[in-house]
Amino acid sequence: MKVLVACEESGTVREAFRKLGHDAWSCDLVASRDASPYHYMQDVLEVLSLGWDLLIAHPPCTYLSNSGARWLHDTRYPNRMGDREKAVDFFMKLRNASVDKIAIENPVGHLSTAYRKPDQVVQPWMFGDDASKGTCLWLKNLPLLVPTNIISPTKIVTSKGKSFDKWWYETCKLPLKERAKVRSKTFQGIADAMAEQWGGKVE
Ligand SMILES: C[S@@+](CC[C@H](N)C(=O)[O-])C[C@H]1O[C@@H](n2cnc3c(N)ncnc32)[C@H](O)[C@@H]1O
């Protein structure tokens, strides 16, 4: 299958599909973290029409997630509403791409009302990764992902009695930019499940 992984700089989903023999490519405005030759460094809207069988997209959630909503009415960021509408518009361009199979992921947030409720919400811990991060999936012509290895995420309880996922707590120590990058990387278990269940091994 010809697979385009949109808005991916880590190469995680691209490589999961390539390992199974698919002609998978990633695309992001920035360079690929693994310096792969199978990466378009450009606006994904420019490569959407290159004849893909499957599009998997991870559009930015800065203006769409529930966690970002608290900034919407902050006067220090006057155009936050406009930015959110642009983010919805970008999501819809991906959703309406002329590709047979499409999966778009984003955290729980504004898209559930601006577009519709997701087909599925998955968690890394359903696919063997020690972390909680509710991830919505909007699907076209694809089955729901079936959990592959359900585990219990490790918790850290602070001296004040607050409970956090170990994964989340540990990333808090990172500088802001690096933290965002680490937290937005697709988890390996979810990437592998996408490749196995939506692609399968090419014989
Ligand atoms: C939330 S991050 C997703 C990271 C992804 N899960 C990964 O493992 O690499 C969103 C990404 O979208 C990219 N992006 C934003 N606008 C884009 C566009 N028009 N075309 C391609 N990539 C874009 C950003 O550079 C960023 O890397």
pLDDT in tens, 38-91: 999 999 999 999 999 999 999 998 888 876 666 666 666 667 788 889 999 999
Q: How many CB atoms lie within 10 A of CB 202?
A: 10
Residues 182-201: what's their mean pLDDT? 97
pLDDT at 62: 84
Contact 37, 24 (CB under 8 A): no
pLDDT at 177: 87
On the question of pLDDT at 116 being above 80, the answer is yes
Q: How many CB atoms lie within 10 A of CB 200?
A: 12
Pocket test for ligand 1, best of 4, 5, 7 (most atoms within 8 A of CB): 7
Which residue owns the Cα nearest ligand 1 atom 5?
8
pLDDT at 115: 94
Residues 91-106: what's their mean pLDDT? 97
- Which ligand 1 atom minimizes the distance to the CA of 9? 9
Residues 89-98: what's their mean pLDDT? 97
Q: Is 27 in the pocket of ligand 1 (CB under 6 A)?
A: yes
Contact 104, 91 (CB under 8 A): yes
Q: Which residue has the higher pLDDT, 62 or 130?
A: 130
Q: What are the CA-CA distances from residue 181 to residues 33, 72, 82 (Å)?
A: 11, 22, 24
Q: Is 105 in the pocket of ligand 1 (CB under 6 A)?
A: no
What is the Cα–Cα distance from 13 to 15, expressed in whole angstroms? Answer: 5
Query: Which tokens is 84 given?
Result: 């959110």
| Spacing, Cα 28 to ligand 1 middle (Å) | 5
Which residue owns the Cα nearest ligand 1 atom 12?
7
Q: Which residue has the higher pLDDT, 149 or 61?
A: 149
Residues 119-147: what's their mean pLDDT? 97
Q: Is 30 in the pocket of ligand 1 (CB under 6 A)?
A: yes
Q: Is 64 in the pocket of ligand 1 (CB under 6 A)?
A: no
Q: Is 28 in the pocket of ligand 1 (CB under 6 A)?
A: yes
| Spacing, Cα 8 to ligand 1 middle (Å) | 5
Which of 15-29, 73-87, 174-188 is predicted least confidently? 73-87
| Spacing, Cα 133 to ligand 1 middle (Å) | 18
| Spacing, Cα 91 to ligand 1 middle (Å) | 12
Is 0.85 topped by the overall pTM? yes
Average pLDDT, the chain: 93
